[in-house]
Amino acid sequence: MANEVERLFNLCDSEGKGYLTEQDLQHVCPQLDQKDIEFIFAQLDTDGSGKIEKEEFCNGFKKTVLEGENRGYGGMQRRASVIEYSDVNKVEQNGSQNLKRTMSPSQGADEVFDSDADSPFIRPNRLRTLDDDVYNSESDTNMSIDFSLPCQEEVVLLYQQLQSAGVPQLLRKYERIVGSFYKELKEQKDENQRLQHVYEAEKDMYNRRMEEVENELDQQVMLAERKAREEERSRLTKEKEEMQARMAEEMRTMQGNIERLQKMESVLEKEGQKTDSPKRTSRAFEGGVFGKY
């Protein structure tokens, strides 16, 4: 990684100034947007001169890219690790053609390029085959590429073609690209799973809350019905008591009237008896006197 950062600095500093400006980095790394470059310069340009010295760039570029990921500059690590260097591509293509012209068919079978070197060189007695090797991404993910990606057949086919081309720099770049892409897919998958779990939890909480609300409503309806029945029962009991009280009062009134009538009859009978007694006496006297004559 340090060699790649130094090579990136040399590409940006094509004039050999010994420092970089924002324009230099933007020219060689067009996929880094203005915010990315401003963040990189804010971290590495410690004196605020608008320039980054070579030592500062080589020592702090990787750390700055990782810090940018943590500070919300999503994809900076991928954009920084998938830089297309047009000059390097030309050198790699020319080097590949020259090496192919100088290598005999027997050499091609027994000699391969070392993908860990800064420039291609021949290492004898090593035969790299597609079936025996597992290629790891050189990006910061440090994870094996499983090629379980969309357009899987095209990805594997291109990987095989790059292996056959014998250009290790292109192969490393391809591994970084696929590794970064795989990392993003994995992060997105993890995020989707997290969101799915959050959704399920929220859904369960919502269902439980709705069930609680329904139970509360049922209880309130039951309480209202019970209260209505009790009020109706109380009203009927009160009306019954009032009716019984009225009937008792009427009975007492009737009983009083009957007693007064009975008293009046008794008085009238007594008065009638008093009135009849003188009349009988007078008739008896008259009958006795006049009977003598």
More confident residue, 32 or 237: 237
Instruction: Count CB-CB contacts under 10 A for residue 67.
Output: 15
Mean pLDDT (the chain, rounded):
74
Contact between 111 and 103 under an 8 Å Cβ cutoff? The reply is: yes
Over range 74-97, report the average pLDDT.
51
Return the domain boundaries, the chain: 1-83
The token pair that represents 233 in the structure block: 């029962």
| pLDDT value of position 3 | 78
Report the predicted TM-score, pTM, of the whole model to 2 decimal places: 0.31
- Judged by average pLDDT, the poorest of 2-6, 94-98, 148-152 is 94-98
pLDDT tens digit sequence for 259-288: 999 999 888 888 887 776 666 666 655 665
Q: Give one DSSP letter per residue of 222-277, joined into a string.
A: HHHHHHHHHHHHHHHHHHHHHHHHHHHHHHHHHHHHHHHHHHHHHHHHHHHHHHHH
CATH superfamily, domain at 1-83: EF-hand (1.10.238.10)
Contact between 183 and 139 under an 8 Å Cβ cutoff? The reply is: yes
- How many Cα neighbours within 13 Å face the side chain of 73? 21
The token pair that represents 88 in the structure block: 């390097």
Please calculate the CA angle 210-214-219 and round it to the nearest 5 degrees: 145
| pLDDT value of position 218 | 94
Of the ranges 55-59, 124-128, 253-257, which is most confident?
253-257
pLDDT tens digit sequence for 42-75: 898 888 888 899 888 888 888 888 888 888 887 7
Which DSSP symbol is given to 136? B
| pLDDT value of position 291 | 53
What's the full length of the chain, in residues? 293
